[in-house]
Each structure stands twice: as C-alpha cells, then as structure tokens.
Structure 1
Amino acid sequence: MDEQSTREQICTIGRNLWLQRLVTANDGNVSVRLDETRVLCTPTGVSKGAMTPEMLTLVDLDGTRLDDKPVRPSSEVLMHLEVYRQDPNVGAVVHAHPMFATMWAVCGEGFEARMLPETIVSMAEVPLAPYATPSTPGVPESVRPFVRDHRACLLENHGALTWGTDVTSAYLLMERLEFTAELNWRLRQAGAGNNLPDGEVNKLIQLFS
C-alpha cells in the first residue's frame, strides 16, 4: 500500500485495539516498516482510538525523526525498531496491555499454547522478556532473543508485544495472544486442560509452517 493508505490502516488497527480493550487511555503503540529505511509510528500521549493519519510520525531504523510534526513518536519506538533490525521479514509491530496477557506478565511467567491447532501454528510458546524500564535501551535488549523464533512475547510487569509481515497480521496475533492467555489462565484456575501430544503438534507445524 502507499503511505497514506498505510496511515489509515494503522488508525483502524489502533481503534480496534481500543475497542477490544487491548489498550486503555493512551497505552500501546503500533508501527509499520514502509521500506528499508523508514518506519511509521503512532504518536505518544494519544489514545489509539482517537488517532488520525496525519498524527503518525516517521523515523528511521535508528529512531531519528524524519518529519517535523508537533507530536512525538511513541517513547517505545526503540523496541519496535529492534524487532525490525533482528528480522527483515517483519513489516509491523504492535504493543498493547491486554488484561490476561498482562496478568501473566505481572506474574513473571510466559506460557505454552499447545492446546488448540490455531495457537500451535501461530504461537506454540509465548516467552517472557525480562523486565526493563520502559523507554530505555533495556527494553529492546530484553526482546531481542525472541524475535527470530517467535511472533509474540510478554514483557514482564509491562504488557505484550506481537510482530508480523504486515500490520493486520501483527494485530490479529495480539488478539490471538490475549485469547490464549485468558484460556490458559482460566484453565489453570480450574485445574484442567490438556496439551495436544507432541506427535500431533509436530504434524500441525509441518502442515502449516
């Protein structure tokens, strides 16, 4: 898509995050890699449900501003840029604070997602990135080890991060992550739940990888 269409799509995704209660207030951020050097990023201090296309800011892969808009890029943009640097196939990143995924993160736990075929294919394991102070270089350092082998991770005492080939896939992974986090949480409280056997897990991965 051209840049204007991408801006509009990011705003649609931001509103979906807000409507689905995956973010509250001004939380969360979304970015899309336009090309090898430019990244569109949501602004800081703006509800994801109230963004307009002209609010989005442009930065390079080092985080340098490429426009003179009055709004600043999200303070978490360094985390997004690290994902792009680690995997050139990533085209978009979504950061949110969904309730159940964040509960796992606050408990200091990642989780496996081997109960349903859909989660096995998209995120058979959701690792926990160790806590780092938001907006500091420690955050990108904490997610770096998980980028190439996963499509989502939890941020300890912070929230969740997903990434995909485009902004729609990254957003849908956030929806999937929150559903899976809630399923795992409720099953743990009930003392129930069965993972699919390893043979079936491997079969699914081979079929849909």
Structure 2
Amino acid sequence: MNKDKLAHEIVEAGRRIYQSGFVAANDGNISVRIDTEHVLITPSGVSKGFMEADALLLVNLTSGETIEGQGRPSTESAMHFDIYRHRPDVQAIVHAHPPTATGFAVAGIPLDELALPELIVTMGTIPLAPYATPGTEALPETLRPFYKEHDAILLANHGAVTMGQSLTEALFKMESVEMCAKILFTARMLGRVQELSDEQVDRLVDARSFYGLKGAHPGKKIIEQRRNKEEKS
C-alpha cells in the first residue's frame, strides 16, 4: 500500500474524530496496516486534530519496534497489534472516546438492543469488554473474546474501538457507534426501546450479502444471545 497516501488518510481521520468531539486533547489513536509486517500508527502525546503526516510512526507488528519516525507509538499500540494479529482481514483501527457511547461504557451498558436496522446490517451488536487499565497488556486480553464476531467494541469506563477493511470503514463504524448510542439514549429517556422481532432481524442479517458487506458480524447468533438474555431475566 502507498504509505504516504495512508499517512494523509490517518491525518484526515484524526481531524474528523477531533472535530466531531470524539476525542479531546491528545486522546485516541489510529492505525493502518501497511503490509503483513508493518503498521502505521499515531504517536503518543499528539492531538489527533493537529497531526502532520510526518509525525506518524511505522512500526513492526511482531516486535513493536519503530522503523520510521520519532517518539513513542500510541499507548494503546498493544491493542492495535493484537487485533491485527488475530484478524488478518482488518486493515485499519480507530480508538476514540465518543461521549454518548462512552457514557454507555461507563454505565456498564452494551449497545446490544436490536432496534436499529442500519446497525444490525453493518455491525450486529456492540458488546462491552470488561475494564482493563489503558495502555497495558491486559487491555487486549479483555477484548480478544470479541474480535471474531465484532468490528466495534465498547471498552468499559474507557471508550470504543472500531476496525475495518479500510480506514474510511473503521471511521464510519465509529461514527455509527456514537449515532447508535445517541438514538438508544433518547429512546431510553422516552421510556422504551422497541426492539425488532427475530424474523425482522433475520432478514436484516441476510441483507448483508445484498449490500456486499464483509468483515466480522455476529449473524444469527445475536438472536441466540437475546433469547439467553430473556431466559435469565
């Protein structure tokens, strides 16, 4: 892949999440897979809204060694590297703190209500990973059980991470996570979330092939999860 082009895409994505209020100060991190061995990632301690392309770091995915660039890779680099190792289809990752979605994460509430057709088609549900100290090796361990079937995960008391086959896709998924959280929050304030039926969810999951969507998706398992949830309650 063209490293310079991808570097400029990361800079633009950083500006978008900053301007959208998904990050403040030096929060958040973004990375793109360059090839099977290398990742371009944002450095630690740099505002995503004011980055320059030459500030990005080229890092070896296996060793974590910085090949090009000055400074330290993002404190969440272990999370990025772990996702790339376990998901060879993932080409880009965005981690941010979108306020409403992060509010759900702080409250310990996953975005797993089957109410929004667009979300069901694109991502299914958005689970909540248990808390782990940011910037530590413990963080990817808490996320690992969710990699296989989810392209978006809430991090308890922390934020959200999204992944895609391109940086644009990963960025759009982060925007969708926040939009979903805002809508569900509003519905909760109005007193009720009207979920779709199992049959309606089945049709939406089947529609993925019509739209040519790829990547991880919990598929019909989300109906199973809902039934289990209902049985427990």
TM over 0.5: yes
Q: CA deviation at 1:40?
A: 0.4
Give the alignment's TM-score, normalised by structure 2: 0.86
Q: CA deviation at 1:128?
A: 0.7
Deviations 1:119-178 (A, max 9, x none): 111122111110101111100101111111011010001110100111110000000000
Contact 1:113 1:124 in 2 (8 A): no
Q: Once superposed, what is the RMSD of the aligned Cα atoms?
A: 1.2
3-state DSSP class of the match of 1:131?
A: coil
- Whether 1:173 and 2:165 are equivalent positions in the alignment is no
Q: Which residue is equivalent to 2:205?
A: 205
Q: Which residue is equivalent to 1:87?
A: 87
Once the two structures are overlaid, the 10-residue window that deviates more, 104-113 or 43-52, is 104-113
**Structure of greater Rg:** 2
Task: Please list every run of 5 or more consecutive structure 2 residues that lacks an aligned counterpart in the other structure.
Answer: 210-233
Task: Please list every run of 5 or more consecutive structure 1 residues that lacks an aligned counterpart in the other structure.
Answer: none
Q: Which residue is equivalent to 2:183?
A: 183
Q: Which residue is equivalent to 1:104?
A: 104
Identity of aligned residues (%): 44
Q: Which residue is equivalent to 2:78?
A: 78
Give the alignment's TM-score, normalised by structure 1: 0.96
Contact 1:30 1:95 in 2 (8 A): yes
Contact 2:57 2:70 in 1 (8 A): no
Once the two structures are overlaid, the 10-residue window that deviates more, 181-190 or 47-56, is 181-190
Once the two structures are overlaid, the 10-residue window that deviates more, 124-133 or 188-197, is 188-197
3-state DSSP class of the match of 2:154?
A: strand
Q: Which residue is equivalent to 2:17?
A: 17
Contact 2:132 2:138 in 1 (8 A): yes
Q: How many residues align?
A: 209
Q: Which residue is equivalent to 1:127?
A: 127
Q: Which residue is equivalent to 1:4?
A: 4
Give the whole-Å Cα distance in 2 for the aligned partners of 1:192 and 1:68.
52
